[in-house]
Amino acid sequence: MVDVGHKKVTRRQAVARGSVTLSSEAFDLVRRNGVKKGDVLGVAQMAGIQAAKKTWELVPLCHPLPLDGIDVDLRLEPRSSRVVVEARARARAVTGVEMEALTAVAVACLTVYDMVKGVDRAACIGEIRLVSKQGGKSGFSG
């Protein structure tokens, strides 16, 4: 694990995004909250938040960070039959929160997939990517 003990504590933020493309039938079920497993968007949001908090346990060389906040938002895009997931992680720390934001998105997308796979075997998790980051030596990027 990289030694970050010499770095200054700064306010850090990272935003990540991903999506799950669904069949029109599965998308309609999610929109109507009609999936047998329950509230897809609510469960996926909680899964993403929980995943961000456990990133250091999931990614072997990731530092444990005291998160100040994590927001996971899911929105429906009817034109493309997609669930778009965006996560914003914040901390005052010596290292960035990119991994926490990315992990939140990945696990939220996996949760959507898991909850709809019974009605949509072709559901597809889309590009998961870092949208922006702030703080630390490099300042803002994105």
CA dihedral 43, 45, 47, 49 (to 10 degrees): -150
| CA distance to 7, 79, 140, per residue, from 104 (Å) | 25, 25, 21
Closest to 101 (Cα-Cα) out of 127, 67, 135: 67
The catalytic site residues sit at: 114
- Token pair recorded at residue 70: 């994590």
Q: Which helix (H) or strand (E) holds 90?
A: strand 82-93
